[in-house]
Amino acid sequence: MIESLPYPPQRIISLVPSQTELLYDLGLRKRIIGITKFCIHPAEAVKNVTQVGGTKNFRFEVIDELQPDLIIGKEENYQRALKG
């Protein structure tokens, strides 16, 4: 679901490895607070970012604790995660 935000997100979680790389390429390093264990690039940048699980098995309690403004994912991430 795409929603409009009243301000640029300051706390971003990425559940998609390719989008994580794009976020870093766009210079948003300081805003990325959570990634999956498959988000491995850029290697130096992601090594100190909190992992929230895999691309389909999230640790919802960790996501909740991080209090993100924006979570980037794909439909397939959510369908499988919500099924259990």
Residue 78 CA to residue 21 CA, distance in Å, equals: 20
pLDDT at 81 over 80: no
Helices (H), 1-84: 17-25, 43-46, 60-66, 75-83
In a domain, residue 5? The reply is no
Q: What's the domain range around 45? A: 12-83
Nearest residue to 60 (alpha-carbon basis) of 29, 28, 38, 82: 82
Type of residue found at 5:
L
What CATH number is associated with residue 53?
3.40.50.1980
Portion of the chain with pLDDT greater than 90, in percent: 70
Overall average pLDDT of the 52-57 stretch: 87
In a domain, residue 4? The reply is no
In a domain, residue 68? The reply is yes
- Residue 50 DSSP SS3: strand
4 pLDDT band (50/70/90 cuts)?
confident
In a domain, residue 7? The reply is no
Residue 27 CA, chain-centre distance (Å), reads 15
pLDDT at 44 over 70: yes
pLDDT at 54 over 90: no
Structurally, the chain folds into a number of domains equal to 1
